[in-house]
C-alpha cells in the first residue's frame, strides 16, 4: 500500500468491482480473463496501482490488449482512466489506450464515448511523444470544438455540429458567416486547453477563413499567427542538379526523361532554435521521390541525397535514407501524396506527416546539424 505521511491511513475510493479483482488475485495468485470487463478494468488497474501490485497491473494491461476490450472500448476506457488516475509517462495501461485511440479516426468515435478529459490526455501525450496520429488537424479541431460545446449546452453542441462539416463535407458546405452561437464565450473557454495541442498551420487557409475564424471561439492571436505564417513568401529560391527543371516561380520541380536521381535544395537556411514545417506535394511518382533536409557542405546535386552523409530524406517507398543506410519508416505512397516535413531544430530531429497521418521522429536521425536546408531528390523514369 502506498505510504501516507499524514499520520493516518486513508483508503481511496476504490469501487467494489475493482476490489473484487484485487482480492481474486491476492487469494488465488491469478485472475481469469473473463473476470475483466469494460466496466471494471480501469477500477481494477486503479486498485492494483494503489496496492502496488505491478504484476496485476501488467496482467490487466495485457488482457485488455489481447481481448476485444481495447478494440471495442478504448475511448471509454481512456476517459475513465484519465478521470481516475493521475497522468504519468510510465503508465503502461494509459499508454496502451492512447496509442490505440490515436490510430482511430476521431470521426469514427461518437460524441459521448470520449470525454473531454480523455481527449485532452490523448492530444497532450501524442503531441509530447510525437506519436502516430491518424486524424487530420482540421478534424481534430472540429471534434474538440464540438466536444467543448457539448460540455456547455445542448444548443451549443447542435450549433457547432451544424457549422463544422467534416473534411469530406467541406467542399459542398456553405461557409459559416457570423451565426449566433449560444454561450460562445463558455465554449471558447472549454476549448482553450485543447487548442494549444492543435497546429493550425496544418489546416488549409480557406477552411480556417470559412469555417473556423467566423466562430470566434479561437483567440485572435492564434488566427493572426496563422495568417502571418500563410503569408510567408512561397518562392524558396531553389538550386538543383543539372537535369532537373524548376518551374512556376520555384513551386514545381520535375525530372525529364533519362534523369537519374538528382537533388533540388532551397537556399533558405533553417538554423535558429525553432520548429520548421513545410509541405511538399508529390504530383507524380516515377521510380521513387524523396523529401527531407540536407546540410550544404559537400552536397552533390548530381547524386542521390540519401547516399550522402549530409542528406536525410524519406522516400515514396517508405524508407528513410542517410549515408546509404536505410530504415523502414512508413507505408509506400504514390501520386498526389501531401507530405509535411517537421524539423525540430531544438532537438535536432525530423518527422513527417503523410496524407494527414503524422509519423514519429526518424529514430536514426537524432543529432542533425545546426544548419539545414529543405531538399528533394527525384528521377525519371
| Dihedral (Cα; 128, 353, 378, 204), 10-degree rounding | -120
Mean pLDDT computed over every residue of the chain: 88
Q: Which residues pair with 319 in a beta bridge?
A: 328
- What is the predicted pLDDT for the residue at 251? 81
- % of the chain residues with pLDDT over 90: 57
Give the mean pLDDT of 272-285.
86
- What is the predicted pLDDT for the residue at 177? 60
Q: Which of 55-69, 125-139, 268-282 has the highest mean pLDDT?
A: 55-69
Q: Which residues of 240-251 are buried (b: 16+ CB within 10 A; e: fewer)?
A: bbebbebeeebe
- What is the predicted pLDDT for the residue at 326? 96
- What is the predicted pLDDT for the residue at 12? 62
pLDDT at 133 over 80: yes
Binned at pLDDT 50, 70 and 90, residue 179 comes out as: low
Q: Which residues pair with 314 in a beta bridge?
A: 291, 320
Domains of the chain: 16-129 (no CATH), 137-230 (no CATH), 238-380 (2.60.120.920)
Binned at pLDDT 50, 70 and 90, residue 272 comes out as: confident
280-294 pLDDT per residue, tens? 999 988 889 999 999
d(CA 228, CA 376) in angstroms, rounded, equals 26
Give the mean pLDDT of 245-250.
84
d(CA 205, CA 29) in angstroms, rounded, equals 58
Query: Cβ(284)–Cβ(335) under 8 Å?
Result: yes
Query: Cβ(337)–Cβ(281) under 8 Å?
Result: yes
Of 89 and 336, more confident: 336
C-alpha cell of 311? Answer: 542528406
C-alpha cell of 212? Answer: 473556423
- What is the predicted pLDDT for the residue at 85? 76
- % of the chain residues with pLDDT over 70: 92
pLDDT at 309 over 60: yes
Binned at pLDDT 50, 70 and 90, residue 75 comes out as: very high
Three-state SS string over the chain comes to CCCCCCCCCCCCCCCHHHHHHHHHHHHHCCCCHHHCCCCCHHHHHHHHHHCCCHHHHHHHHHHHHHCHHHHHHHHHHHHHHHHHCCCCCCCHHHHHHHHHHHCCCHHHCCCCCCCHHHHHHHHHHHHHHCCCECCCHHHHHHHHHHHHHHHHCHHHHHHHHHHCCCHHHHCCCCCCCCCCCCCHHHHHHHHHHHHCCCCHHHCCHHHHHHHHHHHCCCCHHHHHHHHHHHCCCCCCCEEECCCCEEECCCCEEECCCCEEEEEEEECCCECCCCEEEEEEEECCCCCCCEEEEECCCCCCCCCCHHHCCCEEEEECCCEEEECCEEEECCCCCCCCEEEEEEEECCCCEEEEEECCEECCCCCCCCCCCCCEEEEEEEEEC
C-alpha cell of 200? Answer: 493550425
d(CA 241, CA 243) in angstroms, rounded, equals 6
C-alpha cell of 74? Answer: 478504448
Give the mean pLDDT of 8-14.
62
Amino acid at each position: 500500500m502506498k505510504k501516507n505521511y499524514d499520520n493516518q491511513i486513508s483508503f481511496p475510493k476504490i469501487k467494489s468491482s475493482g476490489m473484487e479483482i484485487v482480492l481474486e488475485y491476492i487469494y488465488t495468485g491469478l485472475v481469469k480473463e473473463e473476470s475483466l470487463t469494460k466496466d471494471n478494468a480501469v477500477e481494477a488497474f486503479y486498485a492494483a496501482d494503489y496496492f502496488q501490485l505491478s504484476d496485476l497491473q501488467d496482467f490487466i494491461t495485457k488482457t485488455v490488449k489481447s481481448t476485444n476490450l481495447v478494440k471495442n472500448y478504448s475511448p471509454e476506457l481512456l476517459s475513465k482512466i484519465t478521470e481516475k488516475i493521475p497522468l504519468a509517462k510510465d503508465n503502461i495501461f494509459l499508454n496502451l489506450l492512447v496509442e490505440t485511440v490515436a490510430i482511430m479516426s476521431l470521426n469514427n468515435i461518437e460524441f459521448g464515448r470520449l470525454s473531454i478529459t480523455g481527449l485532452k490526455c490523448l492530444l497532450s501525450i501524442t503531441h509530447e511523444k510525437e506519436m502516430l496520429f491518424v486524424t487530420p488537424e482540421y478534424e481534430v479541431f472540429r471534434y474538440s470544438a464540438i466536444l467543448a460545446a457539448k460540455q456547455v449546452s445542448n444548443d451549443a453542441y447542435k450549433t457547432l455540429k451544424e457549422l463544422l462539416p467534416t473534411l469530406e463535407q467541406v467542399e459542398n458546405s456553405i461557409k459559416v458567416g457570423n451565426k449566433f452561437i449560444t454561450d460562445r464565450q463558455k465554449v471558447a473557454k472549454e476549448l482553450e486547453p485543447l487548442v494549444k495541442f492543435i497546429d493550425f498551420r496544418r489546416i488549409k487557409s480557406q477552411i480556417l477563413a470559412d469555417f473556423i475564424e467566423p466562430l470566434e471561439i479561437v483567440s485572435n492571436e492564434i488566427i493572426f499567427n496563422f495568417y502571418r505564417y500563410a503569408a510567408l513568401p512561397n518562392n524558396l529560391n531553389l538550386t538543383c542538379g543539372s537535369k532537373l527543371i524548376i518551374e512556376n516561380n520555384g513551386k514545381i520541380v520535375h525530372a525529364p526523361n533519362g534523369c537519374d536521381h538528382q537533388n533540388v535544395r532551397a537556399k533558405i537556411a533553417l538554423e535558429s532554435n525553432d520548429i520548421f514545417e513545410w509541405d511538399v506535394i508529390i504530383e507524380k511518382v516515377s521510380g521513387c521521390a524523396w523529401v527531407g533536409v540536407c546540410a550544404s557542405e559537400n552536397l552533390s546535386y548530381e547524386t542521390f541525397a540519401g547516399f550522402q552523409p549530409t542528406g536525410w530524406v524519406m522516400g515514396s517507398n517508405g524508407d528513410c535514407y542517410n549515408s546509404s543506410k536505410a530504415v523502414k519508416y512508413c507505408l509506400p505512397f504514390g501520386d498526389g501524396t501531401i507530405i509535411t516535413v517537421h524539423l525540430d531544430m531544438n532537438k535536432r530531429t525530423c518527422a513527417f506527416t503523410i496524407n494527414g497521418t503524422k509519423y514519429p521522429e526518424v529514430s536514426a536521425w537524432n543529432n542533425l546539424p545546426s544548419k539545414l536546408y529543405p531538399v528533394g531528390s527525384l528521377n525519371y523514369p
